[in-house]
Amino acid sequence: MAQTFDVVVIGAGPGGYVAAIRSAQLGFKTAVIEREFLGGVCLNVGCIPSKAMITATHLLHKAQHNFKDMGLMIKGDINVDMKQLVKWKQSVSDKMSSGVGQLLKGYGVTHIKGDAEFKSSKEISVKSSAGTEAITAKYFIVATGSRPIEIPGFKFDEKDICSSTGALAFDEIPKRVAVIGGGYIGLEISSYLRKLGTEVTVIEAMPSLLAGVVDPDCANIVVRKLDKAGVKIMYGAKAKSQKKAKDGYEVTVEINGKDEVVKCDKILVTVGRRPNGDQANLKAAGIAVDERGFVKVDAQRRTNVQNIFAIGDICGQPMLAHKASHEGVLVAEVISGANRVYDAKTVPAVVFTDPEIASAGMTEAEAKAKGHTELKIGKFPFGANGRAVSMMETEGFVKMIADAKTHVLLGVHIVGPEASNLISEAVLAIEMGARIEDLALSIHPHPTLGETIMECAEATLGHAIHIIQKPLKK
Amino acid sequence: MATDVKLPELGEGVTEGELVKWLVQPGDSVKADQPIAEVLTDKATVEVPSPVAGTVKDLKFKPGQVVKVGSTMIALDAGGAAKAAAPAPAAAAPKAAAPQASTPAPAAGGKAQDVKLPELGEGVTEGELVKWLVKSGDSVKADQAIAEVLTDKATVEVPTPVAGVVGELKFKAGDVVKVGSTMITLTGAGGAAAAPAAPAPQASAPVAAAPAAKAAAPVATSSASTANGIFPPVADSKVLATPATRRLARETGVDINGLSGSGLAGRVTREDVLAAGGGAVATTSSAKAPAAGGMTIPRPAYQGQAGAAEERVALIGIRKRIAENMQRSKQIIPHFTIMDEAKVDALVALRESLKDFAEKNGTKITYLPIVMKAMIATIREFPMFNASIDDAAGEIVYKKYFNIGFAADTPTGLVVPVIKNADQKTILEISKEIIDLSKRARDGKLKPDEMKGACITVTNIGSIGGTYATPVINHPEVAILGMYKIDEKPVIKDGQLKAIKTMNYTMTADHRLIDGALAARFLAAFIGRIENPGKLLVEML
């Protein structure tokens, strides 16, 4: 006898588990199927554990570089116990993952561990160690996520040739790492590995890093710091092959038409992620998948099959956890009969490099393309902010882009300390249709990093206090 | 020489009418007295004639909008000899403009002529421009297709009403064009493709974004952009509104893209959305004037089954009027209905016996006129059924005349023509009148006056089906009599099983004036006359 539910969510990542909880809150009999771990990539091998590693190495870096100036004297060397670090990182993930389990239980969501496959638009089968069971539901939410892209000749073993998953589990500090792909994942890992003392070579096919992903001015700050820290970046470079050498590996890289060899102990491939459209037998339900493997959805995240929805990485860019969670809530509410569509003005993006980059809204190029012919652009440096100075983290700036005629805020780009936490204010401002004056006139507490938002708004208007600007032309 | 054609007086006390449809398009040449539009007033559709001949320049209103008497409806380029018509106030005396042999006066001498997006169908207010079939500088013939426009799943070709040279294309493929917006400007006469004259200053192309005169156009636009009644995301559009406001708009079925915001920097506020959705927020436009009688009628939003197949069309015209009337009646009047059965063997026999007589007199006698007569006789006994309540004055009005309304089913919905002074007409006369009124009701040709002033209404659903119903009273009347189908029934009489013919009747009354007992007495007295039609003869004045 097949178990039957109102809503079955496939995948318990940041999209799926949120959709399941919201469905339960709305009174649906809900189940969530997860083959690996609650919280998905994000909580277990992505966002959360990487942040643990970044936090620890950031402190290490401060201890090595700032403590002396601050008068904090440490006897002897600061050593890293990598096994302990990884253990601690794992405990953070475990804590979060079990927290999701508690929430699901608390809301009465049935959690089924196993691998789901569609049999029809109304039925799935779930394979687990206990065997196979059939489950039927009125509605399905496909939240099966994405996986790292493999490139030819670099098959993941997650020990020496790794995706982000393997990289987060190194139990000793690697001496030399070749990072193929200078996107945000590659750079985050490069940043913290470098702080642990690893020699890092980034092999990037494009002529610049984070191209088209973040504001180029912001990317430059990070690239400069990587350079200064001794990270080698090869631009316009293509990793062709690798072979095992006497010690470690040799990666053959084609650059400027010539082949070069990068020697390393570990190879990290972070060229992007691909949606798992080829899994869970979506065809059996009649779900349309595009040529890149994304499930096709409409503004309500409904697939071409009336009772099946798709959220998160599986349904399109940007592949970000917070977008997935938002869609999870949205879809549960649509199923409950509410008139909802995905209607966010912006999905903020955050890169946990050193310093952090965060952005919301449009870049200059996007604003121009959207018909904002005249822009007002302002910048305010963290160097002029008291809190940043007291933290000894003064690199970076806040940049604002507004429509020159209406002063409506179009985009905010931050590179600097705590950029990831500062961007939320910008998201709210953009969603609320704020004008630059709204930000300038809201009293921001002193001394905080948040003041830079207010000051940047003033700079955009041409009269920031803590930087010297040319007088306003009437 | 431009003449404004205004909406003339439409009848006693009528101050406005709803534009149902245009009968002409920009560029058409009209003769004097030619109807240019259909306007709906108080349930009657009247055709508005043009007092003079000329070429239609532009249409000032869209179907569904309410036009005040005296408002300019169209601008006419009157033929050369036309007087600079001091707008004749509502006098429909055709101006002695030497009626020209109506050749369309081609916009000669570089005269610019706007080609607008015509009506595309019932309730369609806009369409998406798929592609242009002409380009700037092309010469076009009259009736040549200039563009393809997509409306709710159908692509239609838009023709130009006149010949000329295409000036500027006002929209790009992919733009949503509102009905009535200028699509192109034509210059010069057709044929000789003259060097396109400098585009004349635009007449009055409504800016697509700011709906000009957002008079009474209900905001529930059904457009190609709304699939299943779900408005697409607006985050990407130029509209400024907070996430909460955007959600509110979606929930109240308001297309936020069509609103001009009253907030800072043109932000669409919560109040703007509520006002557009008919919410309880006062607006400055007369559009939301409360329904007659100073009542505010709740206008709840309809939340569709998300994604279910639904289609939205504007609720306008007769249907809207019926909806308003029914709702008002139900809100004001505490209805109750009493039902009974009449034995109608005698009545059936009477009607059968009169068939030939009626035919000789060129008509057909149905039960309805006989029922009316029986009803009038009964009302004389119970005058309360011929009354109305003047709520404003707090008085009961007893009427000393007998105008009987009867419900007529028409393709556009229910209308109620009235037999005036039915007490003074013979059954033959009433029969003829019913046949005539019914036919014209179906054709939409009733005059407003023919649907006014009923004291009480009869509804005859029997011809369609049903045993009993609880009809809605036509306010300010206080009663409605329903008649149903004739049936055969077995009865036991003097120990014998017999078949008799029966007919059901209902009396629905306004409980404020009429109590159950009174209604029961009325119905009994009425049925007494139906069962014995001879009584009618005896009572006759």
Residues 319-378 in A contacting B (C-alpha not used; CB under 8 Å):
334-335, 337-346, 371
Are B304 and A339 a contacting pair at CB < 8 A? yes
Residue type, A238: K
Which uninterrupted H or E stretch holds B39?
Answer: strand B35-41
Whether residue B258 has pLDDT greater than 90:
no
CA of B290 to nearest chain A CA: how many angstroms apart?
A: 28
Q: What does the pLDDT average to over B5-26?
A: 82
Task: Look at residue B539 and give its three-state secondary structure.
Answer: helix
Q: What is the Cα–Cα distance from A419 to A439, expressed in whole angstroms? A: 17
Tell me which of B225, B245, B247 to substitute to probe the interface with A (most A C-beta atoms closer than 10 Å): B247
Q: Residue B288 has what pLDDT?
A: 32
Which residue, B331, B363, B321, is CA-closest to B448? B321
User: Which phi and psi angles does A263 have, rounded to 5°?
Assistant: -90, 135
Interface contact flag, B251 A339, Cβ < 8 Å: yes
Say if the Cβ atoms of B233 and A340 lie within 8 Å. Answer: no
State whether residue B359 is helix, strand or coil: helix
pLDDT at B253: 78
Task: Determine the residue type at A326.
Answer: H
Task: Quickly list DSSP for B253-315.
Answer: T--GGGPPP-SGGGPPPHHHHHHHTT-S---SSGGGPPBGGGBPPP-PPP-PPTTS-------
Mean pLDDT calculated for residue range B428-454: 90
Interchain contact B304–A (C-beta under 8 A):
yes
Q: Is the pLDDT of residue B46 over 60?
A: yes
**B174 touches A: beta carbon within 8 Å:** no
Which sign, positive or negative, has the C-alpha torsion B451, B454, B457, B458? negative
**Helix axis angle, B516-531 relative to B367-381, nearest 10°?**
130
Instruction: Kindly state the tokens that stand for B346.
Output: 């005698």
At B268, is the pLDDT very low, low, confident or very high (cuts 50, 70, 90)?
confident
pLDDT at B276: 80
CB within 8 Å of B195: residues ≥ 6 apart: none
The pLDDT of B454-474, averaged and rounded, is 92
Q: Contact B172/B208 with Cβ under 8 angstroms?
A: no
A464 touches B: beta carbon within 8 Å: no
Q: Is the peptide bond before B51 cis (omega within 30 degrees of 0)?
A: no
Q: Is B310 on the interface with A (CB under 8 A)?
A: no
Residue A1: predicted pLDDT: 65
Determine if the peptide bond prior to A355 is cis (ω within 30°).
yes
Give the pLDDT confidence score for residue B107 in this predicted structure: 36
B residues 50-89 closer than 8 Å to A (CB): none
> Residue B189 has what pLDDT?
44
CB contact B233 to A (< 8 Å): yes
The more confident residue out of B539 and A132 is: A132
Predicted confidence (pLDDT) at residue B199 exceeds the cutoff of 60:
no
Strand B139-140, strand B145-151: pairing: unpaired
Q: Measured between CB atoms, which of B240, B266, B306 is closest to A300?
A: B306
Using CA atoms, how far residue B231 sits from A432, B32, B120, B256, in Å, is 19, 45, 21, 9
Structure tokens at B493: 């009489």
- Put simply, the answer to whether B265 touches A337 (Cβ < 8 Å) is no
Does B511 participate in catalysis according to the annotation? yes
- For testing contact with chain A, the best of B238, B239, B259 (most A CBs within 10 A): B238
Q: Closest Cα of chain B to A326: distance in Å?
A: 13
Are the beta carbons of A435 and B265 separated by less than 8 Å? yes
Interface test with A, best of B267, B305, B312 (most A CBs within 10 A): B267
Determine whether the interchain pair B235/A435 forms a contact, defined as Cβ–Cβ distance below 8 Å: no
Higher pLDDT, A305 or B38: A305
Residues of chain A with C-beta less than 8 angstroms from the C-beta of B265: 406-408, 433, 435
Out of A81-95, A212-226, B108-122, B455-469, least confident range: B108-122
Nearest CA in chain B to A433: B240
Please give the mean pLDDT across all residues of chain A: 95
Tell me the pTM: 0.56
Hey, what are A3's tokens? 């178990």
Contact B233 A343 (CB under 8 A): yes
Q: Which of B175, B225, B246, B273 to mutate to test the interface with A (most CBs of A within 10 A)?
A: B246
Vertex A47, ends A41 and A50: CA angle to 5°?
A: 110
Helices A16-25, A321-335: axis angle to 10 degrees equals: 30
Q: Which of A97-101, B154-158, B322-326 tops mean pLDDT?
A: A97-101
State yes or no: pLDDT of B281 exceeds 70: no
Strand, coil or helix: B249:
helix
For residue A342, list chain B residues with Cβ-Cβ distance below 8 A.
233
Of chain B, the percentage scoring pLDDT greater than 90 comes to: 31
Residues B334, B338, B341, CA angle at the centre, nearest 5°?
160
- Least confident stretch, A443-457, B14-28, B102-116, B139-153: B102-116
User: Is B240's CB within 8 Å of A408's CB?
Assistant: yes
Residue pair A182/A200 in contact by the 8 Å Cβ criterion: no
- Calculate what percentage of chain B has a pLDDT beyond 70: 76
d(CA A131, CA B513): 75
Cα(B170)–Cα(B428) distance, integer angstroms: 61
pLDDT digits over A383-427, tens only?
999 999 999 999 999 999 999 988 999 999 999 999 999 999 999
Strand-strand pairing, B35-41 and B16-22: antiparallel
pLDDT of residue B279: 45
Average pLDDT of B101-117?
A: 54
* Residues contacting residue B267 through CB under 8 Å, at least 6 positions apart: A433, B240, B241, B242, B261
Which chain B positions have a beta carbon within 8 Å of A435's beta carbon?
264-265
Could you identify the residue written with the tokens 């799935």? A124
Contact check, Cβ <8 Å, B265/A306: no
From B141, B299, B511, B512, active-site residue = B511
Largest pairwise CA distance in chain B:
100
Within 10 A of B383 (CB to CB), how many other CB atoms are there?
A: 11
CA distance A195 to B185: 68
Task: Inspect the interface and report whether the beta carbons of B250 and A431 lie closer than 8 Å.
Answer: no
Q: Does B312 touch chain A (CB under 8 A)?
A: no
| Cβ-contact A129, A49 below 8 angstroms | no
Each residue's pLDDT tens digit, A290-345: 999 999 999 999 999 999 999 999 999 999 999 999 999 999 999 998 889 999 99
Q: What's the pLDDT score for residue B157?
A: 80
Say if residues B23 and B37 touch (Cβ distance below 8 Å). Answer: yes
Instruction: Nearest by CB to A339, from B241, B264, B306: name it.
Output: B306
pLDDT at A62 over 80: yes
Q: Give dist(CA B239, CA B174) in Å, integer.
A: 18
| Structure confidence at residue B296 (pLDDT) | 63
Task: Give the range among A98-112, B220-234, B343-357 with minimum mean pLDDT.
Answer: B220-234
Largest CA distance in chain A: 78
Instruction: Look at residues B426, B363, B321 and name the one whose alpha carbon lies nearest to residue B43.
Output: B321
Query: B513 in the Ramachandran plot: left (φ > 0), alpha (ψ -120 to 50) or beta?
Result: alpha
Q: How high is the pLDDT of residue B101?
A: 36
Distance CA A451, CA A474 (A): 27
Listed range (A208-217, A242-251, A275-284) with the worst mean pLDDT: A208-217
In the block, tokens 């955009």 appear at A460
Beta carbons of A315 and A186 less than 8 angstroms apart: no
CA A232, CA B255: separation in Å to the nearest integer? 53
Residue-wise pLDDT tens digits, A360-390:
999 999 999 988 999 999 999 999 999 999 9
pLDDT at B173: 80
- Does B217 have pLDDT greater than 50? no
Name the minimum distance, in Å, from the CA of A261 to any CA of chain B.
47
Predicted confidence at residue B81, as pLDDT, reads: 39
CA distances from B521 to B78, B379, B381, B398, B468 (A): 65, 11, 10, 19, 19
Q: Do A299 and B265 touch (CB under 8 A)?
A: no
Check CB contact of B234 with chain A, cutoff 8 Å: yes
B155, B148 contact by CB (below 8 A): yes
Type of residue numbered A423: I
pLDDT of residue B405: 97
- CA distance linking residue B9 with residue B16, whole number of Å: 9
